[in-house]
Structure 1
Amino acid sequence: MMNIGKRIVSLRESRGWTQRELASRVNLNVSVMNRIEANERPVKDNELLQLANVLDVSTDYLLGRSSSSTLTQEEKDEAEFQAFANNPTLQKWYKELPKSKEEDLEKLRKMWEILKDHGEL
């Protein structure tokens, strides 16, 4: 059974990317990426979402909970949204939204759809 580091390496290599290229695509330091791939450092939740989005797989696949690396369109849309919602540059703005979590998420989802539809993402 492959661990998360091996799955990331396998996916990265299948795309012909260097470790540095993948690290850049997910906004991580290359030394952090190296430690993640070597299973010397756990992957943080936001990093897991970014990796799954960039590698076009589900988080379940990276975590070894699914043997299929193929995403459905619904899973792709959700992964894109989660990566958008967890973008560190949005965190300050997101924290200032009204306190209702459901209301916050719905507003953010509507904004994401507008940006996506207009090719801003």
Structure 2
Amino acid sequence: MSLGSRLKKEREKRGWSQMYVAERLGITNTVLSNYERDYRDPDTGMLSKLADLYDVDADYLLGRTDKPRFSGRTIDFDEKEQAEFEAFINNPEYGIFFKDYLNAPEERREEMRKIWSILREKEKDRKPGDRQGE
């Protein structure tokens, strides 16, 4: 996916018009349109402003990664682990901590998956009746 298509995707995902984004960036909508159609590339200062406005990393906009935000080590779950995690967060006894997972931005979801992965690893040998953390 090109820089222009990622810029357009991020703008449309937020329901923003080109006029609105251009105004926020201090450029004309023609310039923004040229960025989105890959007729012109933003300079580094403008790329930084775009990344900040869309709350994504510049590497994502440039196509160097498919992750919109870098948050350290990525936790990639296989289907079984994802199912276990979703069962955990949907359990009313445990899920309160993760109640906003399904509606959270991807960066927050990644943080919650990391926390769950750490908890699961720490508790893997725990038997019923054992105190937590022992």
Going from structure 1 to structure 2, the CA distance change for 1:25 and 1:71 (only over 3 Å counts) comes to farther
Task: Give the aligned partner of residue 62 of structure 1.
Answer: 61
Taking the aligned partners of 2:24 and 2:71, their CA distance within structure 1 comes to 22
User: Contact conserved, 1:9 with 1:37, CA < 8 A, in 2?
Assistant: yes
* TM-score between the two structures when normalised by the length of structure 1: 0.56
The amino acid of 2:25's aligned partner reads V
Tell which structure's C-alpha radius of gyration is larger: 2
Taking the aligned partners of 1:4 and 1:44, their CA distance within structure 2 comes to 12
Q: Percent identity?
A: 35
Going from structure 1 to structure 2, the CA distance change for 1:72 and 1:24 (only over 3 Å counts) comes to farther
Query: What is the CA-CA distance between 1:28 and the residue it aligns to?
Result: 1.2
1:36 corresponds to 2:35: yes
Task: Give the aligned partner of residue 13 of structure 1.
Answer: 12
The amino acid of 1:36's aligned partner reads Y
The amino acid of 2:8's aligned partner reads V
Q: How does 1:24-103 map to 2 (within 5 A)?
A: 24-72=23-71
* Bigger relative CO (Cα 8 Å, ≥ 6 apart): 1
Query: What is the CA-CA distance between 1:71 and the residue it aligns to?
Result: 4.3
Can you give the 5+ residue segments of structure 2 that lack an aligned partner in the other structure? Answer: 73-134
Task: Give the aligned partner of residue 89 of structure 1.
Answer: none
* TM-score between the two structures when normalised by the length of structure 2: 0.51
User: Contact conserved, 1:56 with 1:71, CA < 8 A, in 2?
Assistant: no
Can you give the 5+ residue segments of structure 1 that lack an aligned partner in the other structure? Answer: 74-121
Stretches (4+) displaced over 2 A? 70-73
Q: Greater helix percent: which structure?
A: 1
